[in-house]
Amino acid sequence: SFSAVATSRAQVQQEPSAETTEGTGISISCSHPNIKTTDFILWYRQLPERGPTLITFSHKGSKALSDPPGRLSVAADRRSSALWLARPRRGDAAVYYCAVGD
């Protein structure tokens, strides 16, 4: 499971919380300093009273998101990534998780 990978080997770190107002873009960052060459970076979100769902994943570079609108950017050294939510709505309020796995 990705959660076990994230906690034991990859040591993924995220800020505890981030806030924005409706329609104002926000960047959520994630640090994964021990990422392996073969690992993918995955981002999930968990809406209130729902299970987590995968919203995007990437190996490197930058990738556009359609739902929610935004972008996933992976640092050149792949040791960090950031999820940009371009036009957050009230319904996008959720817990956003990053994980790494192959």
Tally of domains in the chain: 1
95-101: strand order across its sheet: 53-58, 40-46, 95-101
Classify residue 28: in a domain, yes or no.
no
Classify residue 71: in a domain, yes or no.
yes
Q: Is the pTM of this model over 0.75?
A: yes
26-31: strand order across its sheet: 13-14, 26-31, 80-85, 69-74, 62-66
Classify residue 68: in a domain, yes or no.
yes
pLDDT over 60 (residue 97): yes
Q: Is 50 helix (H, G, I), strand (E, B) or coil?
A: coil
pLDDT over 60 (residue 10): no
Give residues with Cβ within 8 angstroms of 1, minimum separation 6: none
pLDDT over 80 (residue 7): no
Classify residue 97: in a domain, yes or no.
yes
